[in-house]
Structure 1
Amino acid sequence: MIRRFLMILAGLSAFGASPAAAFWEYGHETIATIAMSQVQPRTRASIEWLLKRQAALETPTCPAKTIEEASIWPDCIKPLGDRFAYVYDWHYQNLDVCVPFDIKANCIDGNCVSAQIPRAQRMLADRKLPVRDRLMALAFLVHFMGDIHQPLHVGEARDLGGNQTRVSYGAIGGRTNIHSIWDGLLADRGISTPPAGPRGLLSEATPEALRQMAQGSVEDWVRESWTIAKEKIYPTAAGDICSRAPGAKITGKLDNDAIVGLIPVMRQQVLKGGIRLAHMLDEALDGDHPEVAHPPKPQSIAPAPAA
């Protein structure tokens, strides 16, 4: 129903956006597909082994049979009520773009996305944990790496990551907000712009560029997204929000020229999310792990002694 509604709105847009699939699904799934295409063979085998056991999650309405399904599992379980209510705050971290960057801000007791990513990676790597715990960790890691590459999941504190900043986007007018635009309509248009999809995004980067993208830490990547929110997203849509009085209503507009200028930013964020996710999955899973059978490494043969 959400997809159909957004598709209608996108079709009405004066900017000709392609049918909406939205970052809620399209962005996360694209990042997951890119990552799965880039991981090492042992990592891929271990992921597939875990996903075959997705029934252990006991969430039949939210399957995780593929890496793409796992990427949206943390959103799918939100309506399940008290069972998963504790994870709601893990999807974001509201960081003020009007003060110096501080990765520790607004992360009480580790309940924020920047703290949950390394936690999920550690749990995924821990072969002593039950399969269910590792499956959940896999889904959370895949999803949260997508979240931090949508810059409004790490800013801005005063408008709840853009959810309270009303922004016009074509025929939708002021009925949407800047967070939803980056989650959905802009993500859809950006990923769908030729060369489209995971292969299209990968085709735009050299192997060396991909290696460079994988460098850094979670803090580096969050800082990068925060900087995009600070220097590109808010100024383009709403001007200088830091000069406004606290509590002042923030509104804005994205015209076609602005949207076209932001498409490369969105595409780069999705590509980086996939490459960096692959790196984190390899760190957790590439090696000798008991759930995946690997052939023994060939033994070196010493040369025969001279006669």
Structure 2
Amino acid sequence: MPNRILTTLCGFAALFAFAAPAQAYWEYGHESVARIAWLQMRPDTRARVAALLRQGRLLETPDCPLATIEQASVWADCIKPLGDRFTYAYSWHYQNVDVCKPFDLKAACKDGNCVSAQIERNARLLADSKVPVREKVMALAFLTHFVGDLHQPMHAGDHADLGGNKVAASYGIIAGRTNLHSIWDGWLAERAISTPPAGPAALLAQVSPAERERIASGSVEDWSKEMWGKARDLAYQTLVGDPCGAGPVERQVMDEAKVRGLIPEVRQDVVEGGIRLAKLLDDALGPEGKAPGQKR
């Protein structure tokens, strides 16, 4: 009996040594993107964001508070169990742009029901001085979450498999219902962000002012194409090889070597999301009230 207990404990220890999952991406990853944005945005923008967050009660979602930007970053996921109140937003978290065809955002964003279109829409709402405060608070929460979503490659690229949700995979010894999408959402993102130098401030500190300016440039469509390319060239290929081929017959394993190779890439995705979110907020809440695609 003692040997059996020892074996079980060793198994759990090995699992957590490999994955160390404090929180999954839908919390830790989003919160990290939001904190990087908070650190990167201008002081006047930070004050305006804080003022909006103080009005979070206007959304009447007490179980999904918005007192901090980290809470705002997960609000769009937190409200999913509220049913009919927010079911209209379900398709706003992703865009199924086929990685085996030329990049085509329009086909994946019919009627604006995709993550990139909603990033632009919510930035416009924040920039519009005529929009009521309640709508601005909601726009802030949606925008903060959706920029994080876009910078998780499996929300930006797809091959008729629900962004990798249908691609069965194991993360080390963690198997069961695990798939390519959930690995990038959770285990891999948490491992990357918590790898020393760990945390949002450390990730941002490694990026020079010139590099931050480069990252913040471009359009939401440019960022979408970049992340779509990473879905194809990194997420799919690392695990299943050519996503446009026949595909593996057996469940693939994201082993330690693959994880180590992807850590720098995932850290880059998180810091890019934070810097770009800060840019959108600086523009929308600044004196000119700029939003993507608008000319002032």
**TM norm structure 2:** 0.90
Task: Identify which of 73, 76, 79 aligns with 1:74.
Answer: 76
Question: Is the Cα–Cα contact under 8 Å of residues 43 and 286 in structure 1 kept in the other structure?
Answer: yes
Task: Identify which of 147, 150, 153 aligns with 2:149.
Answer: 147
Secondary structure of the residue aligned to 2:200 is helix
- 2:108 aligned with 1:136: no
Q: Give deviations 1:117-173, integer Å, cap 9, x for gaps.
A: 100000011121111100010001110000000000012141100101011111113
d(CA) in 2 for partners of 1:106, 1:239:
24
d(CA) in 2 for partners of 1:209, 1:182:
25
d(CA) in 2 for partners of 1:250, 1:99:
25
**Counterpart in the other structure of 2:270:** 270
d(CA) in 1 for partners of 2:256, 2:177:
17
d(CA) in 2 for partners of 1:96, 1:50:
37
Equivalent positions of 1:54-65 (< 5 A) are 54-65=56-67
Secondary structure of the residue aligned to 2:175 is helix
Counterpart residue type for residue 146 of structure 1: G
**Counterpart in the other structure of 1:119:** 121
Q: Where in structure 2 are there 5+ consecutive unaligned residues?
A: 1-10, 290-296
**Counterpart in the other structure of 2:87:** 85
Change in CA separation of 1:40 and 1:251 when aligned onto 2, cut-off 3 Å: same
The structure whose Rg is larger is: 1
**Counterpart in the other structure of 1:293:** none
Question: Is the Cα–Cα contact under 8 Å of residues 11 and 19 in structure 1 kept in the other structure?
Answer: no
d(CA) in 2 for partners of 1:26, 1:119:
25
Question: Is the Cα–Cα contact under 8 Å of residues 18 and 256 in structure 2 kept in the other structure?
Answer: no
**TM norm structure 1:** 0.87
d(CA) in 2 for partners of 1:73, 1:182:
20
d(CA) in 2 for partners of 1:22, 1:14:
13
**Counterpart in the other structure of 2:6:** none
Question: Is the Cα–Cα contact under 8 Å of residues 14 and 171 in structure 1 kept in the other structure?
Answer: no
d(CA) in 1 for partners of 2:12, 2:34:
24
Question: Is the Cα–Cα contact under 8 Å of residues 42 and 282 in structure 2 kept in the other structure?
Answer: yes
Secondary structure of the residue aligned to 1:242 is coil
Secondary structure of the residue aligned to 1:253 is strand
d(CA) in 1 for partners of 2:65, 2:14:
33
Identity %: 56
**Counterpart in the other structure of 1:156:** 158
Counterpart residue type for residue 131 of structure 1: V
**Counterpart in the other structure of 2:178:** 176
- 2:206 aligned with 1:204: yes
Which aligned segments of 4 or more residues in structure 1 are displaced greater than 3 angstroms?
A: 9-12, 248-251
Secondary structure of the residue aligned to 1:73 is helix
Structure 1 stretch displaced more, 202-211 or 84-93: 202-211
Secondary structure of the residue aligned to 2:62 is coil
1:105 CA displacement: 1.9
Counterpart residue type for residue 282 of structure 1: D
Structure 1 stretch displaced more, 124-133 or 236-245: 236-245
d(CA) in 1 for partners of 2:262, 2:145:
23
Change in CA separation of 1:106 and 1:16 when aligned onto 2, cut-off 3 Å: same
Question: Is the Cα–Cα contact under 8 Å of residues 29 and 68 in structure 1 kept in the other structure?
Answer: yes
Question: Is the Cα–Cα contact under 8 Å of residues 100 and 159 in structure 2 kept in the other structure?
Answer: no
Counterpart residue type for residue 236 of structure 2: Y
Secondary structure of the residue aligned to 1:168 is strand
Structure 1 stretch displaced more, 35-44 or 71-80: 35-44
Q: Give deviations 1:246-266, integer Å, cap 9, x for gaps.
A: xx9784221111110000010
- 2:289 aligned with 1:286: no
1:14 CA displacement: 7.4
Counterpart residue type for residue 256 of structure 2: N
1:18 CA displacement: 2.1
d(CA) in 2 for partners of 1:197, 1:150:
17
- RMSD of Structure 2 on Structure 1 (CA): 1.8
d(CA) in 2 for partners of 1:110, 1:165:
27
d(CA) in 1 for partners of 2:261, 2:275:
23
Counterpart residue type for residue 161 of structure 2: D
Question: Is the Cα–Cα contact under 8 Å of residues 20 and 185 in structure 1 kept in the other structure?
Answer: no
Count of paired positions: 279
